[in-house]
A and B are shown apart, each in its own frame.
Chain A
Amino acid sequence: MAFRMTGAPIAPAALTEGLADPRSGALAVFEGRVRELNEGRAVQALEYEAYVPLAEKEGERIIAEARARFEILRAECVHRTGRLGLGDVAVVVAVAAVHRGDAFGACRYIIDETKARLPIWKKEHYAGGASEWIRCATREGPAPGTLK
């Protein structure tokens, strides 16, 4: 399976080793990491919750779409669930292609669609003890899938 959700720490090096291919002249890797500030608030930890069966189905569809749009050899995406600390890897996308243009393009496509479409939710825990589900406030924003 090219897309999976996991509750365990992600090892990007192990993931990219699996993409070794003698035809490939380009490997593009994106790592999404937990950062310390979001919209001016000091973040101490993140919690990801996912509707795993649908997230994995939709994730596989995104990778199939990337294959249709770009000339790529291999693609993998892994996304975390559970509690993460600052600097932890939340998501990795790795794409092997013959040339860099398609590797970059497919990598960008996969992470953008993953963020916009997959049923995954992020709760931020702030310094001082407050916490909030991102984008779930009731006074802003359109339906999911319409924002990047």
Chain B
Amino acid sequence: MKKSVQVRYFAVLREQRGLGQESVSTGASTAAELYEELRARHGFTLPADRLRVAINDEFEPWGAAVGDGDSVVFIPPVSGG
């Protein structure tokens, strides 16, 4: 069953996608499946093992379920400080 999730992009992913956020209709059941689907669609260069994922503003494991209405952020390697 398709669900609608809100995806936000930062840094290198934002530039590769060409926008900061979008609503995605997906059949993916986990965060990992959603990233692979979007990576195939948009040609993101970073593999999932270089990223972390947050759902609804909390870090989650890649196997976490993605539900209808969730907000998802894929987090590229960080470089603050």
Contacts and interface: CB of A to CB of B under 8 A. Distances in A.
B81 A121 contact: no
B50 A143 contact: yes
A83 B51 CA distance: 24
Contacts of B66: none
A144 B80 contact: no
A91 B14 CA distance: 23
Interface residues of B, number: 25
Interface string A39-62: 000000000111101110110000
Contacts of B51: 143-144
A54 B54 contact: yes
Contact of B59 (A54, A134, A143): A54
Given A133-B11, A136-B11, A118 B80 contact: yes
A39 to B, nearest CB: 12
A136 B12 CA distance: 7
Contacts of A123: 11
B52 A145 contact: yes
B31 interface: no
B54 to A, nearest CB: 5
Given A49-B10, A133-B11, A91 B81 contact: yes
A115 B73 CA distance: 19
Given A120-B79, A120-B80, A121-B79, A49 B57 contact: no
20 contacts: A50-B80, A51-B8, A51-B75, A54-B58, A91-B81, A115-B80, A118-B80, A119-B73, A121-B76, A123-B11, A133-B76, A136-B77, A138-B45, A138-B50, A141-B77, A142-B50, A144-B50, A144-B51, A144-B77, A144-B78
Closest 4 CB pairs of A and B: A120-B80, A115-B81, A121-B11, A134-B79
Given A51-B75, A115-B81, A138-B47, 7 more contacts: A32-B81, A48-B80, A49-B11, A57-B58, A115-B80, A120-B81, A145-B52
